[in-house]
Structure formats: structure tokens, C-alpha cells
Amino acid sequence: MLAPQCVAVDAEDNIYVTDSESGKIFVFDSSGKYDRAIGSLKGGEGYFKRPTGIAVDSTAQRIWVTDTLRNKIFMMDMQGSVLKILGQRGSGNGEFNFPTELRLDGQNLIVVDAMNFRVQVLDRDGTFRNAIGQLGDSTGNMFRPKGVAMDSEGDLYIVDGLWGLVQVFNRQGQLLYYFGQHGSGAGQFQLPTGLFIDHEDRIFVVDSFNHRVQIFHYFALPKRTKEGM
């Protein structure tokens, strides 16, 4: 690999890695053994110019990949055949300006639309549902959105590389709170670039210029049942 970017894992623990420079997706088995590659630049004419974000759904037998330079999302089957291409260059609903990260959330595709300074929520076929964020210099706005993830309550966490913080929004796009600031201490960031939340609501933030990953923990409210909490 030349410039690996993002990683996804399927139901059999196969590992899919986008490589933005080679224009390919490299697939490895669960032990790390190379299996195959999907896509190729082919002198600039292959599937991808700069693949970045990736999401895999083994049940639906689908792979989604953002191509940052083409301003599109490719939907493929598990063998890499292109089934549908979503989006085009622009700032309207369902249009992109350098899309990067991509997450699946139920029937939604959540896309970091980096140079439109927002995160777009689409359905799996590319129909626009809503957008969060806009360019600005105050909280609730974005300047360099880099990564996105969801907690167990369905709130969206968006890491902003320039602001050096993580902003948390509800599904209606309302800012709930934020954490982090510029610095090298605990809870501070220098160009944070990635974000992941596991099933225990632990939040992993790639703090790139501090050469580390910081881990936070969100404690969700207990869910109610008929018997009580």
C-alpha cells in the first residue's frame, strides 16, 4: 500500500483498506493475509481516483466507497462490481465537495462532505435526508470536518481538525455539546483526524499531530423497560 486511508471489516472479519494513492481497495483475511484488490487507476481511468471512506454490509452484500477527487460515492457488490454511483460535484442536497469519511447507520449513509463544511445523511440509494453543519467560526459550525461516528443513543460525533475538538449533534442537527481544545494535554488535540465509537460507547479519537489515540467514554442513560430502568 502507498497511502492507506480508511478501514472496514465484514462479517467474516475480512479487512478492507482504501489506498488513496494507488486508487485501490486492498482486502485481507482475518489473519492479515492479502486476498485481492478492488479497483485501479489504470492511467487515471479506473474506478477510483482517490478512495477514502469505506463501509461494508455483509448482510446486504454491499460496499460503499467515497472517491474524494471524483466527488462521488460508489456502491458495489462484494466482488467489487459497481452497482450504482451516487452524487456529483456541487453544494446542493446530495452533492459533494471532496467527500471523505463514510459511515453506515441502519438504512442511512452518513458522509463527511469536507469542503462543503457539513455532514450529509443519505439513504442507501443516495436520496438526501438531511445535513448537519455549515462554514463558520463558532461552535455548531465546521471548518475542517474529518471523521464521524454514532453513539448508542444515535447522536453524531464530528471531529474537526482545525478546531481541535469533537462536536456532538442530535439527528435534527442541534448541537448538544463539544469536548476538546488545542493542546497536547489529556483531552486536548492537535489536528484530530479520525473517530470511532465501539459498542460500549468508548470514543477513540486519532490525535494525529500528538502521535496518539485518545479514548473517552460516554455513559448513556439506562434504557427503560416495562418493568422500569
Question: Domain for residue 140, yes or no?
Answer: no
Of 109, 132, 155, which residue constitutes the final position of a domain? Answer: 132
Of 132, 154, 170, which residue constitutes the final position of a domain? Answer: 132
Please report which helix (H) or strand (E) contains residue 189, including its range.
none
DSSP string of 160-183, one letter each residue: ETTTTEEEEE-TTS-EEEEE--BS
CA distances from 28 to 3, 42, 129 (A): 16, 22, 34
Number of structural domains (the chain) is 2
pLDDT digits (tens, 9 = 90+) for 208-225: 999 999 999 999 877 665
First to last CA, the chain: 49
Task: Quote the domain boundaries for residue 113.
Answer: 1-132
Note whether 52 and 6 are within 8 A (CB): yes
Is the pLDDT at 166 greater than 60, yes or no? yes
**CA 26/CA 36 separation, integer angstroms:** 6
Bridge partner list, 27 = 16, 36
Same domain, 34 and 127: yes
Q: Which pLDDT value is given to residue 39?
A: 86
Task: Indicate which CATH number applies to the domain containing 159.
Answer: 2.40.10.500
Question: Domain for residue 156, yes or no?
Answer: yes
Question: Domain for residue 139, yes or no?
Answer: no
Q: Is the pTM of this model over 0.85?
A: yes
pLDDT digits (tens, 9 = 90+) for 67-106: 999 999 999 999 889 999 999 999 999 999 999 999 999 8
Same domain, 127 and 151: no
Bridge partner list, 89 = 96
Residue 114 φ then ψ, to 5°: -60, -50
Same domain, 174 and 77: no
